[in-house]
Amino acid sequence: MFKNYINREEREDANRKLPKLMVEGLLLGGTGLGVLALIFEIAADAFSVAAYQTLLAIHGAEGYHQIAIGAFIVLSVLLFLGIVPAYKAGAYLRPNAGGSGPLVEAIGPPKMRWLSWIGTSLFFLDAVLTIIISSISASDVTMLVLPELAPYRILLAELFAFAIMVALVLLGPKRAVPLFLIGGGTFTIFTILALSVVGGTSVANPQWAFLTPGIVARLVETGVTENVVRAVGDVQAIGTVLIFQLFFRSMSSAMLGFSGYEVIPASGKHAARPKWKVINTALTLAAIFLIGTGIVQLFAANQWKIPATEGYSTLLIEYEIMSVQTLGEGVEPGDVDVTEADLLAAEVIYDEQRAEHAFENPLGLDETPAERDFYNLPEDEFVQIVAYEIALSRVITTSLTGTPGETFLFIAGTLLAIILLLAQGGGYVGGAAVAANAARLGRLPKFFLDDRIGIGVIWGVSAMLIPIIREVVVVEAYYAFGFVSAFAITSTTVYFVRSEVLHDRGIEPGSSEAKSLRFAGLRGMIAAYFMMAVLITQKTDALPAIILFGGAITLFQIYYANGGFKRQEKKVSIPEPLPGAASPTFDQGVIRAHDQARQHGIADAVEDLITAGAFAKFNVGPERIIQLVCYLYNVDHHLFAEHDDHHERTEEPSIELEATYQEAYKQRDQILRRIEDYSHFGIFTFINNYHINWVDEEHGRDASVVQKAMLDILFPLTDHDEIWEEYSAYKPQIQPEPIWQFSRRRYVWAKDQWPNLSDRITTIWTLQDFDLLPRDIDVKTVISVADGRRQMHVKIPPRKAAPVLEPEPKQDEEE
């Protein structure tokens, strides 16, 4: 079951290359992104949400850190022992798949195809939610640096979403890669170093927990956080049933930290070769990073008694505590001095919150235990607690002012804000890529093939929802269903992988290697299905919206692909392309997708012929050949521009489309022959127009004699009878401009070559015309050809004998 399914030689070769693969692509060179470059590129999306993972885990556990830690440990085990092996197996089988939906189409059995429709819908929803979460989170983090902007928090989130959208549309996803590399790399390295210090100081100084109430009080006062969730009493004091409820609720919330894991294999098409090794190593290291940082954050939060502060990352509170005590002037409990102003401010807060609570919840329904205890406090006790927190907050601010700790917090907040901004890029680019893949499958309109259109659509939907959602904790439930579904789809696909796919990777179906690979999928299925069950039971309120919007997108895909909700025929027939015809319109998206796959096959066949030098003999630039092929086979010329990226070919997104592609690609010889025919047409046109200059039928040189001689000289490598038969079938005609632009180059070539090659034979013809050479003569002329110099024998036919004029008999003068 645990046998390595990768061929030994292939595995050893990949291991030898791993040191180089670790750093390849960091400077945007090499064959693609190496391990670290791939991790840094997706760090914005995969790691940024981890900054809120601790907050959500504690929030789900209602402030009980021990429950949150236990839930996160179980999640980590499911990820590392279940999801990671399944994703690594999927990456080995098809590293270019680009996500769970395309993976089903590429390697899954036909009965599972319906999962790809659902996967596409949920991934697109996830892309929208990524923009919402990232923009709101970036706006929240900005409050650390600029707290005076708190009233404009949602407007700032809208501006962030718009700014990243505009940048990606203007630059393009590929040109934006350096931004992700620099931002993701800086954030990852900074987080590892900073959290190492946080973990060490939390172990050595648990007494610093007294700073937490002051920091939280400032966040509430400035409006950065609107709700604080604290534990009420000790965890041993609550019942077992409630512990399990909070455990699963915390687990369902903490899953958000693993949301970006799907991005790693989705970005695999940009990886260096061997791709599977780069992706698999990145999957392992990313899992270690996510699990390690999550454990450290939760441990420090438990040590320093940090509650769940909606709208503000627990990580930043930990950074602030560490900064005050290690990089600032330091604070001791005795430094806190409660003033009369603090007491008066606390009384105002008491009156405001009591009035607000009475207005919003007059019957006290749906209160948490923490809220119930808080609002039941006597006024004097409430005022003393709040006044102390206000005074503590003031002391903390004073101790940080003008110190390295203040600089550190500024850098940490700025980096987190930037990485959260860049995380939108993952949502935009990933969602646009999924939409483009659906368009390739014929399930979405063709304009989605342009990533910029997908990015614009995702931004439009997100911009409408940001003012409605407003809080990360509101949307995380909806977000989780998408990527957990991707976990389940990928794992199930790996387990039920088709036998021919295993054959292609050198794995014999039924062998121990095949069983080991399927077992990796089974482990992923167990983990993903368990996570999905937790989500369904704990986030039930989110299900109707997920089903509604996911179902709507799926139904639209079905309608567009089939041209309605009618049942599609199993065999798709593609109309035969007519030369020069206008771009066809299709009633069914699936037929359009097959025609697009046909065009890809023709384009790749021509590109490979050009690379192999098959067209070199025509002495014509590639652009003329491409123009001719586009006309003859009705191919979009933009497809040839896609080959400028020098990436290896990505397989068509489904078995049927790949079959259509291969059928078109197999026309290579036919394409070459057809182009050669039009090359001959240009040369034949020259012969037809110019042979008449050397025809002299009175002296035995008729048109066929001259034509055959010209053919022998201009086609020295072609059999005489073959080329003469072809010329005999030639008929002069006006060709469409794209064809003539190619044939004309061959016409000009023949016109240029004929004087150089024919000087010997034309000289002989001229001398014969003046009776300066015998009538019967064999001419051997040397012609330079592609493979050297060829000696050609050209037959000069004898002239017809001139009529003998008998002298008239002399008449006898006498007569």
Helices 543-562 and 472-495 cross at an angle (nearest 10°) of 50
pLDDT of residue 680: 94
Assigned domain for 810 exists: no
Range of the domain at 18: 8-328+427-555
Higher pLDDT, 456 or 311: 456
Cα–Cα separations (whole angstroms), residue 702 to 347, 699, 793: 119, 8, 19
Q: What is the pLDDT of residues 230-280, one digit of tens each?
A: 887 777 778 888 899 999 999 998 887 787 777 777 777 778 888 999 999
**Does a structural domain hold residue 108?**
yes
Q: Does some domain include residue 413?
A: no
Same domain, 189 and 272: yes
Helix (H, G, I), strand (E, B) or coil at 33: strand
pLDDT greater than 70 at residue 681:
yes
Asked which of 165-179, 259-273, 390-404 is least confident by mean pLDDT, the reply is 259-273
Residue 710 lies in a domain: yes
Answer whether residue 91 is part of any domain: yes
- Whether residue 64 is predicted with pLDDT greater than 90 in this model: the reply is yes
**Rounded Cα distance, 416 and 414, in Å:** 5
Report the candidate in 194, 219, 416, 415 with the shortest Cα–Cα distance to residue 326. Answer: 194
Whether residue 33 is found in the same domain as residue 125: yes
Q: 749 pLDDT exceeds 70?
A: yes
Q: Point out the least confidently predicted range of 228-237, 631-640, 779-788.
A: 779-788
Same domain for 324 and 336, yes or no, is: no
3-state class (DSSP) for residue 779? strand
> Per-residue pLDDT averaged across 757-780, rounded?
75
Residue 73 to residue 78: CA distance in whole angstroms: 9
Domain count, the chain: 4
Query: What is the spatial distance between Cα 8 and Cα 17, in angstroms, rounded to a whole number?
Result: 14
Question: Sorting pLDDT into bands at 50, 70 and 90, what band is 311?
Answer: low
List the structure tokens of 304. Answer: 């320093």
**194 and 128 fall within a common domain:** yes
What are the Cα distances from residue 790, in Å, to 2, 586, 678? Answer: 65, 53, 25
In terms of domains, do 245 and 381 share one? no
Could you give the percent of the chain with pLDDT greater than 90?
36
Q: Would you say residue 714 lies in a domain? A: yes
Q: What is the CATH number of the domain that holds 231?
A: 1.20.1740.10
Q: Is residue 441 part of a domain?
A: yes
Same domain (yes/no): 140, 214: yes
Work out the pLDDT band at 813, boundaries 50, 70, 90.
very low
pLDDT at 545 over 80: yes
d(CA 560, CA 439): 10
| CB neighbour class for 606 (10 Å; exposed up to 12, middle 13-18, buried from 19) | buried
Q: What is the average pLDDT value for the chain, to the nearest integer? A: 83
| Complete DSSP assignment for 657-676 | HHHHHHHHHTTHHHHHHHHH
pLDDT, position 372: 46
**Which of the pair, 12 or 808, is modelled with greater confidence?**
12
660 and 697 in one domain? no
Beta carbons within 10 angstroms of residue 464's beta carbon: 10
Q: What pLDDT does 46 receive? A: 63
What is the tens place of the pLDDT at every residue in 417-465?
888 787 777 778 778 888 888 898 899 998 998 888 999 999 999 999 8
**pLDDT confidence of 776, banded at 50, 70, 90?**
low
User: Is 312 in the same domain as 339?
Assistant: no
What are the start-end ranges of the H helices in 441-542? 451-469, 472-495, 499-504, 512-538
Task: Let me know whether 388 and 446 are in one domain.
Answer: no
Shared-domain flag, residues 159 and 308: yes
Closest CA to 274 of 512, 141, 92, 520: 92
**Residue 449 confidence (pLDDT):** 87
Return the top range by mean pLDDT from 201-205, 545-549, 772-776. 201-205
pLDDT in tens, 122-140: 888 888 888 888 888 788 7
Quote the pLDDT of residue 48: 66
Q: What's the pLDDT at 122?
A: 85
Within a domain: residue 673?
no
Torsion sign, CA atoms 600, 603, 606, 611: negative
Residue 796 has pLDDT above 60, yes or no: no
Does residue 755 surpass a pLDDT of 50? yes
pLDDT at 371 over 60: no
| Residues whose CB falls within 8 Å of the CB of residue 39, separated by 6 or more in sequence, listed in order | 46, 184, 188, 264, 282, 285, 286, 289
Report for 373-377, 451-455, 467-471, 699-703: range of highest mean pLDDT: 451-455
The answer, yes or no, to whether residue 585 has pLDDT greater than 90, is: no
Structure tokens at 240: 């077992």
Neighbours of 218 (CB within 10 A): 20
Do both 371 and 248 map to the same domain? no
3-state SS assignment for residue 271 = strand
Integer Rg of the chain from CA? 38
Are 542 and 490 members of one domain? yes
In the block, residue with structure tokens 């939390």: 202
